[in-house]
Structure 1
Amino acid sequence: MEILHEYIKATNTHDFEEVRKVLHPEAMYFFSNQTCTNHKEIQSYFENAWTYVRDENYEAREIKWLFKGDSSATCIYTYFYEGYINGDYASGEGRATNVFVKTHDKWLLIHEHLSPSPK
């Protein structure tokens, strides 16, 4: 589904206003170290990450759509990031679950859950 690609593209702009365009008003994120329950908290988390990992590139790999309906869709994927931390190249990956809902004929992200890859 195109909405996942739109979301990844918006994330890679490093401009939260672009990300906000694809977020549901009641979006909630589960990160490994924090839960964000509103746009203000999500924005703060994203902007902190973009400051920490400079020139970050974020990708969704091994995408699997678990459900695609008329008003909701859920996918899982391996997330991959790369960028610079304190001037040194860094990269990593983990697991992601995204839930999208269709509101007023537009797909929006309502939930994301990121976690480290199992050891």
Structure 2
Amino acid sequence: MEILEKYIKATNTHSFDEVRKLLHPNAMFFFSDKSCITHEEIQTYFETAWSLVKNENYEAHNVIWLFKENTSATCTYTYFYEGYVNGEYTSGRGRATNVFVKKSDKWLLIHEHLSPLPK
């Protein structure tokens, strides 16, 4: 679905104003080290990550849409990121689940859950 592509593109702008345009007012994010339940908490988490990983590129691989209806859609994927930490190239992967809802004819992200890949 196009909404996931828009979300990935917005994330890669490194501007939370672009990400915010795609977030539901009740959006909640679960990261491996923190849960963020307000836009302010989500913004702080994103901006901290962007300040640590310079020139970060974020991608979604192996996307599987578990559910798609008129007002809700859920997908899982393997996320991939790359960038520079303290001038050295770094990259990583993990698991992601995103839940989108349609509000006033616009798709919005209401939940994201990121976790490490199983060992």
| Shorter-normalised TM range | over 0.9
Separation in 2, partners of 1:54, 1:39:
22
Give percent identity, aligned residues only.
71
RMSD: 0.2
In the TM superposition, residue 19 of structure 1 has moved relative to its aligned partner by 0.1
Separation in 1, partners of 2:49, 2:61:
20
State the AA in 2 paired with 1:51. S
Q: Does 1:11 align with 2:11?
A: yes
In the TM superposition, residue 6 of structure 1 has moved relative to its aligned partner by 0.2
Q: TM-score, normalised by structure 2?
A: 1.00
* Ranges in structure 1 where 5+ consecutive residues have no aligned partner: none
Please give the secondary structure, in 2, of the residue aligned with 1:5.
helix
Deviations 1:93-116 (A, max 9, x none): 000000000000000000000000
Separation in 1, partners of 2:5, 2:38:
22
Matches within 5 A, 1:59-78: 59-78=59-78
Residue equivalent to 1:101: 101
Separation in 2, partners of 1:18, 1:28:
17
Matches within 5 A, 1:1-119: 1-119=1-119
When the two structures are aligned, how many residues end up with a matched partner? 119
Separation in 2, partners of 1:104, 1:20:
16
Separation in 2, partners of 1:63, 1:93:
14
Please give the secondary structure, in 2, of the residue aligned with 1:79.
strand
In the TM superposition, residue 5 of structure 1 has moved relative to its aligned partner by 0.1
Separation in 1, partners of 2:40, 2:61:
28
Deviations 1:11-66 (A, max 9, x none): 00000000000000110000000000010000000000000100000000000000
Moved over 6 A (4+): none
State the AA in 2 paired with 1:47. E
